[in-house]
Chains A and B, each alone.
Chain A
Amino acid sequence: MADYDIIVIGSGPGGYIAAIRAAQLGFRTAIVEREHLAGICSNWGCIPTKALLRSAEILHYGEHAKDYGLTLEGSFKADLEAVVKRSRGIAVRMNNGVQFLMKKNKVDVIWGEAKLTKPGTIAVAPTRKPAMQPQGPVPKGAKGEGSYTADHIIVATGARPRALPGIEPDGKLIWTYFESLVPAKLPKSLLVMGSGAIGIEFASFYRTLGVEVTVVELLPQILPVEDAEIAAFARKAFEKQGIKIITGAKVTKVEKGADSVTAHIEDEKGGKQTIQAERLISAVGVVGNVENIGLEALGVKTDRGCIVIDEFCRTNVKGVYAIGDVAGPPMLAHKAEHEAVICVEAIKGLHPHPMDKQMIPGCTYCHPQIASVGLTEAKAKAAGHEIKVGRFNFVANGKAVALGEDSGLAKTIFDAKTGKLLGAHLVGPEVTELIQGFVVAMNLETTEEELMHTIFPHPTLSEVMKESVLDAYGKVLNA
């Protein structure tokens, strides 16, 4: 008999959820981790960035206390060291939480770097990757190097920042999200390369703390996966905050100085400029961790740096599965978690429903926030839908006005023939918390009729969602 029923390689949001679900279903389960339980999400991604952004948000409120009739006496300013310390503390807490969950579910933790050696077998060796500091201790009771066998092996090795040739991050002048999360001091100026969620969140954080920020995006719009109208709305808001944005432009060369970089930027029309900044954040996407885990030896199929899987996360090799970032885009924690459950339940024979990638929401926690699900207007048209589009501005929402956060837009896209909700796109206060309403609606296959029939509480920001639906059908009330 194999040592385990299931071994999960990687303990990020995909891996640790897979381990918990496996244990719940009665599988003898182990999880292999080489640097930090809970993965990038909790240690160097989703959670610590939210901690930083929360500090920035409160700073912003403090600076605008007057708008709310409040007077702040004395000084109110960011203590960078303390802000970073809080963020790291939260990461550690998440990390400990996963450690507790593994113990509670009797999942063995194996510490080290795993490699598939033959079907059903992995070899675990001490990690060769220098750990990003600060780094927590190895969990107590963890097993170490050696050979382990399992009937099912789930690869959840995640992803890492993409490096552009010639502009490789060096950890000093050119940062990735790792360094961006733990600045020792605030740079005076910052160039952010890439305007996806990661780039925009750091741009927003550093700008709020007073850094001069420039964002360069290769594509014609920032936040390229978002609806063009929402991205344009957000761009205006960012520019109003003083973020410089250059789209349709490429960083062709970076010259490093003693304590600054000079970036050569070329736009679509061939126009050239140079920008000097103290630091550069490279946020040009992430790539799957497919190397050195023995995929080649077993003949596991990969495509453009990701493992190829079917709807139940099975690879082409029997007994080998892949979930999360390493199994392809969208590279989001919640997608990884959902795949984890599908993968394990399929192994158990519980016939889970395959994931519908159209139903995966995306959130960006800048200020204002951006959240979306489903098709953008352009994609809906490209897919051949005849559409109805609804829009509602937060300026006409009572709660938003009362909050002093009345800038935002809710956009809904319906199939004109069937009333199917094809997509929902939000920019504005707390929209990352609002989007779930539309996600549930889409999953339940509601049409505009049920949404119009749904009573939204007053006064809430969520009323913009209903008004947007009403607007799509020419029935808007508060505009």
Chain B
Amino acid sequence: MPTNILMPALSPTMEKGNLAKWLKKEGDTIKSGDIIAEIETDKATMEVEAVDEGILARIVVPEGTADVPVNEIIGVIAGEGEDPKSVSAPAAGAAPAKAEAPKAEPAQAESAKSEAAPAAAPAAVKAPAAPAPTAAAASAGGDRPFASPLARRLAREAGLDLSAIQGSGPHGRIVEKDVEAAKKGGAAKAAPAAAPAGATAAPKPGAAPLAAGPSDEAVKKLFEPGSYEEIPHDGMRKTIARRLTEAKQTIPHFYVTVDCELDALLKLRAELNAAAPEKDGKPAYKLSVNDMVIKALALALKAVPDANVSWTEGAMLKHKHADVGVAVSIPGGLITPIVRDACHKTLSQISNEMKDYAARAKARKLKPEEYQGGTTAVSNLGMFGVKDFAAVINPPHATILAVGAGEQRVVVKNGQPAVATVMSVTLSTDHRAVDGALGAELLQAFKGYIEKPMAMLV
């Protein structure tokens, strides 16, 4: 029987690697212990040692291939008496037969072969690839998920799709407890309507089916026991996890990026701050760029009211006010207090409101009505020197603006290179509510206010 050579896992966490080099050609005779190929990860280059003997019948993954998943068949060895030519390349995803053991260094491996110190070089131990939890492996015959009979029955009765459940049993087999966990988490997607004959439970319509992540046990297994500290989630962490997972899984995000020149805005800001009257020996306000971004976004929404919306299954909610949430990073998480009706507030009002919000947010003293609702949000990572990023929409918002750092860049003006202070912003839109062109229109309006900031003062 031909033996498959599988992509080995060099570490329990390795998921893929590059097949750097084949040291044997098709047709070469292979003895157990021969080095047949080299693979590399971002950390190291390792050799693949043959466990079986025979003739290298077929190279399935050519050398130089990057990102080969662990346990994928990379080659096939024909056994004694088999015609290598008759060995066909197996279909991708065929059930793995035997993983080849990787070795650390040739020199070390040599010494390990000597009888004297069998234990000194643990790298030479032919350890099978760590049974890292894998998604339910489909058997060679087709897409039948690898699951125990009991797990199959339980999933069928609960209307769960086995292919969405992570298996924790041997070789990623889905077992009873995986289905039970999926039932509790409500996390596996409903079985397709064309469930196998005999299925009694029909998928529940309307339920929002979500894919399950790996179980806690599966994640912990990837790390050495004792090599980490387990910190229980607090309420904020749970809320962030739940809401953002929900957002990314239910909202079709669409992203639009634009560069805004900031020089005029920075000049105006300096002038306004310099003109701030004194109150109790301190300036009455000190505007930040972010305060002006809040106001600009609010005004842009006012100018493009079709983008100031929230999606519901039944109807579009078109808002009359532009309420801008502002993501505030606090120890242990973040929170998004909302500047209500920001387009009708002055910059100094917005600025002072934000200072109050930020202080109380850090003390976790915000009231629910101060951070619930809103029609859009701003997330600013500019202070960290971030050039550009995309943010996750915080429902019920239909948009969120991710703001990068204002930095000096060379721009072309009138056909000549010139230096300008430029800030990249990326608008994430809920494509169900705000289409691409509408999002672009909103950004265009925003850019207008940022680049001609005097318009924000009238």
- A contacts, CB < 8 Å to B: 5, 25-28, 106, 312, 314, 318, 346, 348-351, 353, 418-420, 444-447, 449-450
Which of these, A314, A419, A444, contacts B225 with CB under 8 Å?
A314
Q: Which residues from A are CB-within-8-Å of B132?
A: 351
- Give the distance in Å from the alpha carbon of A26 to the alpha carbon of B122 in the complex: 6
- Which positions 171-228 of chain B face chain A at CB distance < 8 Å? 175-176, 221, 224-226
Are A351 and B131 interface neighbours, CB within 8 A?
yes
Are A5 and B119 interface neighbours, CB within 8 A?
yes
Are A418 and B124 interface neighbours, CB within 8 A?
no
B82 to nearest A CB, angstroms? 30
Given contacts A26-B118, A351-B130, 19 further A-B pairs with CB under 8 A are A5-B119, A25-B127, A26-B119, A26-B124, A28-B119, A106-B118, A312-B225, A318-B226, A349-B130, A351-B132, A353-B169, A353-B170, A418-B150, A418-B154, A420-B176, A445-B148, A445-B150, A445-B175, A449-B153
Q: List 9 A-B contacts (CB under 8 A).
A: A26-B119, A26-B125, A28-B119, A314-B225, A351-B12, A353-B170, A444-B149, A445-B148, A445-B150
- Give the distance in Å from the alpha carbon of A404 to the alpha carbon of B214 in the complex: 55
Which of these, B118, B151, B157, B226, contacts A445 with CB under 8 Å?
B151
- Give the distance in Å from the alpha carbon of A318 to the alpha carbon of B128 in the complex: 26
- Give the distance in Å from the alpha carbon of A389 to the alpha carbon of B319 in the complex: 63
Are B221 and A351 interface neighbours, CB within 8 A?
yes
Q: Which residues from A are CB-within-8-Å of B150?
A: 418-420, 445-447
Are A27 and B119 interface neighbours, CB within 8 A?
yes
Are A350 and B127 interface neighbours, CB within 8 A?
yes
- Give the distance in Å from the alpha carbon of A27 to the alpha carbon of B122 in the complex: 8
Which of these, B119, B121, B127, B153, contacts A418 with CB under 8 Å?
B153
Closest to B224 in A: A349
B112 to nearest A CB, angstroms? 9
Are B153 and A346 interface neighbours, CB within 8 A?
no
- Give the distance in Å from the alpha carbon of A26 to the alpha carbon of B125 in the complex: 6
Q: Which residues from B are CB-within-8-Å of A348?
A: 127
By CB atoms of chain B within 10 A, which of A26, A446, A450 has the most?
Answer: A26
- B contacts, CB < 8 Å to A: 12, 118-119, 121-122, 124-125, 127-128, 130-132, 148-151, 153-154, 157, 169-170, 175-176, 221, 224-226
- Give the distance in Å from the alpha carbon of A103 to the alpha carbon of B221 in the complex: 34
- Give the distance in Å from the alpha carbon of A350 to the alpha carbon of B129 in the complex: 9
- Give the distance in Å from the alpha carbon of A27 to the alpha carbon of B125 in the complex: 10
Closest to B117 in A: A28
Q: Which residues from A are CB-within-8-Å of B224?
A: 349
- Give the distance in Å from the alpha carbon of A237 to the alpha carbon of B176 in the complex: 38
Give chain A's interface secondary structure class: loop
- Give the distance in Å from the alpha carbon of A447 to the alpha carbon of B132 in the complex: 27
Q: Which residues from B are CB-within-8-Å of A353?
A: 169-170
Closest to A318 in B: B226
Closest to B126 in A: A26
By CB atoms of chain A within 10 A, which of B150, B170, B176, B221 has the most?
Answer: B150
- Give the distance in Å from the alpha carbon of A283 to the alpha carbon of B359 in the complex: 72
- Give the distance in Å from the alpha carbon of A445 to the alpha carbon of B154 in the complex: 11
Closest to A415 in B: B150
| A444 and B119 in contact, given A350-B127, A353-B170, A420-B176 (Cβ under 8 angstroms) | no
- Give the distance in Å from the alpha carbon of A27 to the alpha carbon of B127 in the complex: 13
What are the 8 tightest A-B residue pairs by CB atom distance, in nearest-first order? A445-B148, A445-B150, A26-B125, A28-B119, A351-B221, A26-B122, A26-B119, A447-B149
- Give the distance in Å from the alpha carbon of A159 to the alpha carbon of B121 in the complex: 36
Q: Which residues from B are CB-within-8-Å of A418?
A: 150, 153-154, 157
Closest to B125 in A: A26
Closest to B168 in A: A353
By CB atoms of chain A within 10 A, which of B121, B151, B154, B157 has the most?
Answer: B154
| A446 and B149 in contact, given A349-B12, A349-B224, A351-B221 (Cβ under 8 angstroms) | yes
Q: Which residues from A are CB-within-8-Å of B169?
A: 353
- Give the distance in Å from the alpha carbon of A346 to the alpha carbon of B170 in the complex: 15
- Give the distance in Å from the alpha carbon of A407 to the alpha carbon of B154 in the complex: 37
Closest to A453 in B: B149
- Give the distance in Å from the alpha carbon of A349 to the alpha carbon of B170 in the complex: 16
- Give the distance in Å from the alpha carbon of A351 to the alpha carbon of B127 in the complex: 12
Are A449 and B154 interface neighbours, CB within 8 A?
no
Q: Which residues from B are CB-within-8-Å of A312?
A: 225
B235 to nearest A CB, angstroms? 29
A414 to nearest B CB, angstroms? 11
Q: Which residues from B are CB-within-8-Å of A27?
A: 119
Q: Which residues from A are CB-within-8-Å of B130?
A: 349-351
Which of these, A25, A26, A28, A419, contacts B153 with CB under 8 Å?
A419
Closest to A441 in B: B149
- Give the distance in Å from the alpha carbon of A350 to the alpha carbon of B132 in the complex: 9
- Give the distance in Å from the alpha carbon of A420 to the alpha carbon of B154 in the complex: 10
- Give the distance in Å from the alpha carbon of A350 to the alpha carbon of B153 in the complex: 30
Closest to A105 in B: B118
B12 to nearest A CB, angstroms? 7
B318 to nearest A CB, angstroms? 50
- Give the distance in Å from the alpha carbon of A318 to the alpha carbon of B227 in the complex: 12
Closest to B124 in A: A26
Q: Which residues from B are CB-within-8-Å of A447?
A: 149-150, 153
Are B149 and A449 interface neighbours, CB within 8 A?
yes
- Give the distance in Å from the alpha carbon of A63 to the alpha carbon of B149 in the complex: 48
B218 to nearest A CB, angstroms? 10
- Give the distance in Å from the alpha carbon of A444 to the alpha carbon of B125 in the complex: 29
- Give the distance in Å from the alpha carbon of A409 to the alpha carbon of B283 in the complex: 93
- Give the distance in Å from the alpha carbon of A5 to the alpha carbon of B120 in the complex: 10
Q: Which residues from A are CB-within-8-Å of B124?
A: 26
Q: Which residues from A are CB-within-8-Å of B122?
A: 26
- Give the distance in Å from the alpha carbon of A349 to the alpha carbon of B226 in the complex: 12
Are A346 and B225 interface neighbours, CB within 8 A?
yes
B181 to nearest A CB, angstroms? 15
Q: Which residues from B are CB-within-8-Å of A5?
A: 119
Are A25 and B125 interface neighbours, CB within 8 A?
yes
Closest to A346 in B: B225
- Give the distance in Å from the alpha carbon of A446 to the alpha carbon of B147 in the complex: 11
Closest to B115 in A: A106
Which of these, B125, B127, B149, B170, contacts A450 with CB under 8 Å?
B149
Q: Which residues from B are CB-within-8-Å of A449?
A: 149, 153
- Give the distance in Å from the alpha carbon of A418 to the alpha carbon of B132 in the complex: 29
Q: Which residues from B are CB-within-8-Å of A446?
A: 148-150
- Give the distance in Å from the alpha carbon of A346 to the alpha carbon of B221 in the complex: 10
